[in-house]
Structure 1
Amino acid sequence: MHTLRSGSSITHPHSFHFPLRIANLNGLSVSGEQDIRPHSSILMIVTGGHGIIELERQQHNLTCGTMLCCNSSTLSISLNPQYHFHGVWIEYTTQPPQHTGANPLNKGTPVRAVSPKACTLASELLKIWEKPAQDQPFAVQQLFSELLAECFSRQTEIQASAHWLDQVLQHIGTHYNEDLTRAQMAERAGVSPEHFSRTFRKATGQTFNEYISLLRIRRAQQRILTDTPNLTTLALELGYGEGTYLSRKFKQVVGISPAAYHRKNKRIVALNFNHTASLRAIEIMPELGVYSSWMERLELAPAQQKLRFEGSRDTSLYQSVAAARPDVIISYSLPGENKLLLPVAPVVELPYMQMGWREQFQQIAVIANREQQAEAWLNRYDELCHAANLELGRLLGARGTAIVWEIDEEVAYCYSSSFGHGSQILYGELGFRPPSALLEQGLLHNGYLEVSIDHIPAYPAEHIFITSIPSTREGRARFRALLQSPSWQKLEAVQKGNFYPLNQPEKFYGFDPLSSLAQLKTFMQAITSQIYMRQDHIKPWSS
């Protein structure tokens, strides 16, 4: 992790801001940046996909439309890009220099939302930075100033009401099962009850009492979906006096009784392609689902049931999901998006990177009332794993070490089994071991390791798999230079022919039943094909 350095300077009433570097977040690793200038500022705007950023040991989810702003002197930053993550990273300086904390954008929470206009401006700024036009010499400064002004305007617009409202909503979210009143919350916010009611309803679309009831009923639905709680016990948990009253309120909000809701075949929306794949594995077609490019090629769903975003993500997401009329929404823990969907249906959150794909699959099967189908699927999968291990035992004997590399434009990544990307197959199902050099670098603790492309030979393994290679001309040139380097040629895996350039990134990004099955088959076909070809037989493993 790169720790940004501290410094001091003076404040000036008229400051001018100049970009020093603008880069695409797709391929940029903040934790690996070693040339961030002291006394500069960082502005990061996410324009698509999602990821996680760690600021001073606190993790924040990043989705389209979120912004990070901080001074280079104040924070340690570690960025973990996830699915289709892209955006714009800007490092800029101020003249005259400002003292720490004087940046007008760096106020309060470092990660917050920006307008769709800001996302558009950031994308245009990146294009002009990368391909400057000779006839527009001031285009970068003009767009950058417009972007800063838009971000500041948005911040100023929402700061007055959002500051106390966010605190109130956070308090309600934690204490909704207690006897809360509008007067108590208005006093807590430091505003009049009338102003509280107007602002609250404008922000949530509901009155204070309606919002409390909705939170309680959504929590009841979540418990019913994932457990079989006693109705009276559940009522007490939610702040209701008895089960019959809970049942009456439940029917008012949901339209059916708790028992009927538990029994019915649910209309499900999946906001992550891993969860969509879990549903398809137990033969459930979600009313709306996110599909990876690899899954789309399998033609697993008609176009109208694929979740896509146009314009503002928040607006598009709400409209698309609401139109599907779901009984339950399955998502990772994304507080902003999940709160947005509260009026539509309960959101069952599966903790990101804290549950293996099997646990997620089994939890989704419980939600969908398909536990037996999931158990049968896993039994068939385990039989296939057993057959694969018998074959490897016959061909290889003891497994030895293996490593999976994802190679980006300038850096490469490898993962522990808890992070997926095929490592759960190698280190879990097939019994290979991570090389000791990875363990010494803290792979099991951190979950992944990032190195420059030319440092890959420093982590030798008996089997080397590459699941993605760079797509740009410069990246491919770096990759070719690696393959031609003496340090690569000396690797035991290369000399013995145990190097497998698979280059199927979309298949190996999934962490779900269908992707794991495909990854297992791909690994086995690669390993056995090499062995049989060396033995003058062509008999790749297939089942």
Structure 2
Amino acid sequence: MYKDNQLLSHLFYQPIQIVKLNEMLSDIGTQSTHPFMVIVYEGYLECTLQGRHVQLSPNSVMLLDDTDDFHLLETCESKGIVIQYRVYGCKTDRLLQDAILIEQCSYRLMNLAKEVEKEANAEGNNPFRLQKLFGELLEVLYSHLRDNKQQQEGLWIDKVLHYINLYFREELTREQMAEKAQVSPEHFSRTFHKHTGYTYSEYLTLLRIRESQKRLLFSMPKLDELAQEVGYNEGTYLSRKFKELVGVSPTAYYQKSKRVLALNTNHTACLLALGITPVLGVYSPFLESIEPVSTSQKLKGYEYGIYEYGIASNYQEITAACPDVIINYSGGNEKQSLLSVAPIFELPCRQLSWREQFGLIANIVDRQEVCKSWLQQYDEQIAQCNDILDQQIGARGTAIVWEIGSHQAYCLNSSHGRGSHILYEDLGFSRPDAIVTRNIEQTGYLTVDIEDIAHYPADYIFVTALPTKDFGKERLLTVLHSEKWQSLTAVQKKQVYFMNQYEIFYGYDPLSTATQLQKLMEVLTS
């Protein structure tokens, strides 16, 4: 609500002259003392603006606040209008004041311009209707400019942030980044702060200290060496900035027991296998059956590592947990939004085996001996399983793993788990030629129609998940009763295993792997 003694602060635009392009455009540059807009419906218009050659194409608009440097060259049989107008009020927003060219305008804007032209030329025209139509045209134009400005800002800020995230160890000045973004240093600073919540120097400091924290997860180098590695000249300056942001010195951070937060089920399972319960983690029903935890220890909105509600719904809980490190797969969208909370240690999603991920996490939490012991016991179990399989089935042959949804079927390779890593890497089964030729070792999985699973023969077929929808079940039943499926060697030898235990086979971690091994051995030796 405004008070009676306060004036509303806003702009008012009044059209004062509306003419066709071919009637007045050639004289307007010298005659006009008011801003104007040129709207081109059809054809092309050639002109110079501030010494630069400009071409207006169909469905384009040019806004000019200062007309001194505008000169018409050629109309090229263009059709359109020129609208001169007065501006009343305080010019707090210059979107419609600066000289600008807008191309590929919407049909609605062009249609409104034609209605403005028609109303201006009508006999006994209604000045209020003309003003209303002109206001609507400006509203559409303003919305287009605002959206375009935000989009352009988003484009360059994303590029700059990506560059800074890669090269923060180097000497990067605000002026260099502004030049890269092709904006003024002042505009760069305003936009950068609006998008990140930090000044440029604060953000650069944040990146360097977070990188220092990640280095200190594994070793305690000399402070001068650490400073050089993250972009500072000497260790005392790094130590001061580190303590300002983290609250403790680099040495104290290195020595303390880390409060760890895990953003997916696999890394939560790795921590549990090491005897550590994360301050916050993602839990599948399978993990909760092994390690029941309170609601306060679980991130909400996650299901099998799929983040449903976004970081915002958990941000307060994450901040309150005060983690010393956040563990996640690389490539997620969480990194930028959680940078202010703690360093994010990212593991390549499909480039590291579950053993390698387990080992790295053990290093972070200083549980290397626990990890080594766990893997040794697992390998002993694998040796026992292979002895049993040698006696019962002999040479392994080929195996294929299917996860069948309601719409499609997915064939999984080792990097995607689902038991395939155990079959191919631990128990000696090989991949059938039908999936090798489809490059599954590089892609990690194949997606096929449910009806096509009969075209991928193997000595052993494992199905770890079945459709949950009726139409998917019907499609699968049709396949299972087909002549093609019935002719498969695995079907005839009764070496097809419908396990349908998605919660267990989804995991690619120590705890899930151990249970998957048990389930696979149960069906192979039954």
Closer/same/farther in 2, CA of residues 467 and 260 from structure 1, 3 Å limit: same
Match of residue 28 from structure 1: none
- The SS at the match of 1:289 is coil
Q: CA deviation at 1:507?
A: 1.3
Q: CA deviation at 1:102?
A: 7.9
Amino acid at match of 2:467: P
Match of residue 224 from structure 1: 216
Q: CA deviation at 1:506?
A: 1.9
Closer/same/farther in 2, CA of residues 299 and 280 from structure 1, 3 Å limit: closer
What TM-score, normalized by structure 2, do the two folds share?
A: 0.69
Q: How does 1:162-173 map to 2 (within 5 A)?
A: 162-173=154-165
Runs of 4+ in 1 over 4 A off after TM superposition: 101-104, 151-157
Match of residue 370 from structure 1: 367
Distance 1:479 1:375 in 2: 43
Q: 1:327 aligns with which of 324, 327, 338?
A: 324
Kept in 2, the 8 Å contact 1:405–1:412? The answer is yes
Q: 2:247 aligns with which of 255, 263, 273?
A: 255
Distance 1:164 1:158 in 2: 10
Q: 2:502 aligns with which of 505, 508, 521?
A: 505
Match of residue 389 from structure 1: 386
User: Deviation digits for residues 113-152 of structure 1, max 9, x if unmatched?
Assistant: xxxxxxxxxxxxxxxxxxxxxxxxxxxxxxxxxxxxxx99
Closer/same/farther in 2, CA of residues 416 and 201 from structure 1, 3 Å limit: same
Kept in 1, the 8 Å contact 2:261–2:278? The answer is yes
Q: 2:419 aligns with which of 419, 422, 436?
A: 422
Kept in 2, the 8 Å contact 1:200–1:207? The answer is yes
Q: CA deviation at 1:320?
A: 2.9
Match of residue 478 from structure 2: 481
Distance 1:195 1:283 in 2: 51
Does structure 1 residue 205 correspond to structure 2 residue 202? no
Could you list the runs of 5+ residues in structure 1 that have no partner in the other structure? 1-12, 14-100, 105-150, 530-543
Kept in 2, the 8 Å contact 1:176–1:216? The answer is yes
Q: CA deviation at 1:153?
A: 11
Amino acid at match of 2:416: F
Identity %: 50
Closer/same/farther in 2, CA of residues 395 and 339 from structure 1, 3 Å limit: same
Q: How does 1:436-447 map to 2 (within 5 A)?
A: 436-447=433-444
Distance 1:437 1:189 in 2: 49
Match of residue 336 from structure 1: 333
Distance 1:337 1:159 in 2: 21
Q: How does 1:178-193 map to 2 (within 5 A)?
A: 178-193=170-185
User: Deviation digits for residues 319-377 of structure 1, max 9, x if unmatched?
Assistant: 33212110000011135310111110000010111110000010011111111111111
- The SS at the match of 1:225 is coil
Does structure 1 residue 313 correspond to structure 2 residue 305? no
- The SS at the match of 1:288 is coil
Q: How does 1:25-424 map to 2 (within 5 A)?
A: 156=148, 158-309=150-301, 313-424=310-421
Distance 1:152 1:396 in 2: 70
Kept in 2, the 8 Å contact 1:269–1:326? The answer is yes
Of the structure 1 ranges 237-246 and 375-384, higher mean CA displacement relative to structure 2 is found in 237-246
Count of aligned pairs: 386
Distance 2:431 2:145 in 1: 50
Does structure 1 residue 455 correspond to structure 2 residue 447? no
Distance 1:512 1:152 in 2: 49
Of the structure 1 ranges 221-230 and 426-435, higher mean CA displacement relative to structure 2 is found in 221-230
Distance 1:439 1:327 in 2: 43
Kept in 1, the 8 Å contact 2:220–2:251? The answer is no
Q: CA deviation at 1:204?
A: 1.6
Amino acid at match of 1:447: G
What TM-score, normalized by structure 1, do the two folds share?
A: 0.67
Closer/same/farther in 2, CA of residues 410 and 167 from structure 1, 3 Å limit: closer
Kept in 2, the 8 Å contact 1:457–1:487? The answer is yes
- The SS at the match of 2:525 is helix
Q: CA deviation at 1:226?
A: 3.7
Distance 2:378 2:310 in 1: 37
User: Deviation digits for residues 294-332 of structure 1, max 9, x if unmatched?
Assistant: 223434321111101499624224333212110000011
Q: CA deviation at 1:239?
A: 1.6
Of the structure 1 ranges 450-459 and 373-382, higher mean CA displacement relative to structure 2 is found in 450-459
Does structure 1 residue 517 correspond to structure 2 residue 514? yes
Kept in 2, the 8 Å contact 1:226–1:363? The answer is no
Amino acid at match of 2:368: E
Amino acid at match of 1:257: S
Could you list the runs of 5+ residues in structure 2 that have no partner in the other structure? 1-40, 42-102, 107-142, 303-307
Kept in 1, the 8 Å contact 2:219–2:254? The answer is no
Kept in 2, the 8 Å contact 1:402–1:464? The answer is yes
Amino acid at match of 1:370: R
- The SS at the match of 1:172 is helix
Closer/same/farther in 2, CA of residues 441 and 183 from structure 1, 3 Å limit: closer
Amino acid at match of 2:447: E
Amino acid at match of 1:322: T
Of the structure 1 ranges 333-342 and 280-289, higher mean CA displacement relative to structure 2 is found in 333-342
Distance 1:153 1:368 in 2: 51
Q: Report which of the two structures shows the higher radius of gyration computed on alpha carbons.
A: 2
Match of residue 28 from structure 2: none
Amino acid at match of 1:504: Q
Closer/same/farther in 2, CA of residues 393 and 155 from structure 1, 3 Å limit: farther
Closer/same/farther in 2, CA of residues 245 and 102 from structure 1, 3 Å limit: same
Kept in 2, the 8 Å contact 1:463–1:499? The answer is yes
Closer/same/farther in 2, CA of residues 163 and 388 from structure 1, 3 Å limit: same
Q: CA deviation at 1:399?
A: 1.0
- The SS at the match of 1:500 is strand
Amino acid at match of 1:484: H
Of the structure 1 ranges 485-494 and 151-160, higher mean CA displacement relative to structure 2 is found in 151-160
Distance 1:203 1:289 in 2: 28
Give the root-mean-square deviation of aligned CA atoms. 2.6
Match of residue 492 from structure 1: 489
Kept in 2, the 8 Å contact 1:415–1:421? The answer is yes
Kept in 2, the 8 Å contact 1:332–1:349? The answer is yes
Closer/same/farther in 2, CA of residues 458 and 227 from structure 1, 3 Å limit: farther
Distance 2:381 2:144 in 1: 56
- The SS at the match of 1:180 is coil
Match of residue 125 from structure 1: none
